[in-house]
Structure 1
Amino acid sequence: MAERMLQFVRLSQAQPEKRDVAARRSDFGEIYREFAADAAAEQSSRCSQCGVPFCSVHCPLNNNIPDWLKLTAEGRLEEAYEVSAATNTFPEICGRICPQDRLCEGNCVIEKGFESVTIGAVEKYITDTAWEKGWVKPPTPRQELPWSVGIIGAGPGGLAAAEKLRLRGYQVHVYDRYDRVGGLMIYGIPNFKLEKEVVLRRWQQYEAGGIHFHLNCAVGQDVTLAELRERHDAVFIATGVYKARDIEGIGSGLGGIVAALDYLTASNRDNLGDAVPDFASGALNAQGKRVVVVGGGDTAMDCVRTAVRQGAAAVTCLYRRDKANMPGSMREVKNAEEEGVEFAWLAAPEAFVGDAGSAGGGEGQVSGVRAVRMHLGLPDATGRQQVAPIPGSAFTIPCDLAIKALGFDPEDLPRAFDEPALPVTRWGTLRVHHRTMMTDLPGVFAGGDIVRGASLVVWAIRDGRDAADQIDAYVKAKAGNKLAVAAE
Structure 2
Amino acid sequence: MTRKMLQFTHIHQRQPDKRGAAERRGDFGEISKSFAPPQAGEQSSRCEQCGIPFCSLHCPLGNNIPDWLMLVAQGRMEEAYAVSSATNTFPEICGRICPQDRLCEGSCVLEQSTHGNVTIGAVEKHITEHAFAEGWVKPLLPGADLGRSVGIIGGGPAGLAAADSLRRKGYAVTVYDRHDRMGGLLIYGIPGFKLEKEVVERRVRLLAEAGVTFVTGCEIGTTISFAELRGKHDAVLIATGVYKAKPLGIPGADRPHVHAALDYLITQNRRGLGDSAVAPELDAKGKSVVVIGGGDTAMDCVRTAIRQGAKSVKCLYRRDRANMPGSKREVAHAEEEGVDFVWMAAPDSVTAEGVKANRMHLGMPDASGRQSPVVIEGSSFTLPADMVIAALGFDPEDVPALFGAPDLKVSKWGTVEVNDALMTSLDGVFAAGDIQRGASLVVWAIKDGRDAADAIHRYVSAKTARQAAE
TM-score when normalising by structure 1: 0.95
Q: Tell me the distance in 1 between the aligned counterparts of 2:246 and 2:186.
A: 20
Matches within 5 A, 1:321-340: 321-340=319-338
Partner of 2:229: 228
Distance 1:48 1:23 in 2: 36
| CA spacing shift, 1:44–1:443, aligned 2, 3 Å | same
Cross-structure match for 1:349:
347
Equivalent-residue separation in structure 2 for 1:158 and 1:249 (angstroms): 35
Matches within 5 A, 1:97-176: 97-112=97-112, 113-176=114-177
Q: Confirm or deny: 8 A CA contact 2:3 2:45 kept in the other structure.
A: no
2:55 corresponds to which residue? 55
Contact 2:19 2:31 in 1 (8 A): yes
Cα distance per residue 1:39-84 (max 9 Å; x no partner): 0000000000001100000000000000000000000111000000
Q: Which structure 2 residues correspond to residues 222-301 of structure 1 after superposition, within 5 A?
A: 222-278=223-279, 282-301=280-299
Report deviation, 1:250: 2.2
Moved more, 376-385 or 156-165: 376-385
Give 5+ residue unaligned stretches, structure 1: 355-366
For residue 378 of structure 2, what is the amino acid of its counterpart?
Answer: G
Q: Indicate if the aligned counterparts of 2:25 and 2:306 stay in contact, CA closer than 8 A.
A: yes
Equivalent position of 1:65 in the other structure: 65
Residue in 2 aligned with 1:442?
Answer: 427
Structure 2 partner of 1:314:
312
Post-superposition Cα deviations, 1:342-395, rounded to whole Å, max 9, x if no partner, equal 0000000001111xxxxxxxxxxxx21000001101212221111110000000
Q: CA deviation at 1:399?
A: 0.9
Q: Which SS does the other structure have where 2:121 is aligned? A: helix
1:191-230 aligned at under 5 Å gives the runs: 191-230=192-231
| In structure 2, C-alpha distance between the alignment counterparts of 1:128 and 1:277, rounded to whole Å | 32
Which residue among 343, 366, 370 is the counterpart of 1:380?
Answer: 366
Which residue of 466, 471, 487 maps to 2:456? 471
Over the matched positions of the two proteins, sequence identity in percent amounts to 63
Aligned to 1:87: 87
Q: Which amino acid aligns with 2:274?
A: G
The answer to whether 1:368 aligns with 2:320 is no
Q: Deviations over 1:387-426 (max 9, x none)?
A: 1100000000001100000100000000000000001001
Corresponding residue for residue 453 of structure 1: 438
Q: Name the count of aligned residue pairs.
A: 468
Q: Distance in 1 between matches of 2:311 and 2:60?
A: 40
Q: Which deviates more from structure 2 when the two are superposed, residues 246-255 or residues 117-126?
A: 246-255
Segment of structure 1 superposing worse, 381-390 or 337-346: 381-390
- Residue type matched to 1:469 in 2? D
Q: What is the distance in 1 between the residues matched to 2:425 and 2:199?
A: 36
Do the aligned residues in 1 keep the contact of 2:270 with 2:278 (CA within 8 Å)?
A: no
Q: Provide structure 2 residue ranges, at least 5 long, that are not aligned to the other structure.
A: none
Q: How many Å separate the matches in 2 of 1:139 and 1:257?
A: 46
CA distance in 1, matches of 2:173, 2:138: 17
Aligned mates of 2:257, 2:136 — CA distance in 1? 48
Residues 1:399 and 2:408 aligned together: no
SS at match of 1:117: coil
C-alpha separation in 2, matches of 1:3 and 1:303:
42
Segments of 4+ in structure 1 off by > 3 A? none
Amino acid of the residue matched to residue 149 of structure 1? V
Deviation at 1:174, TM superposition (A): 0.4
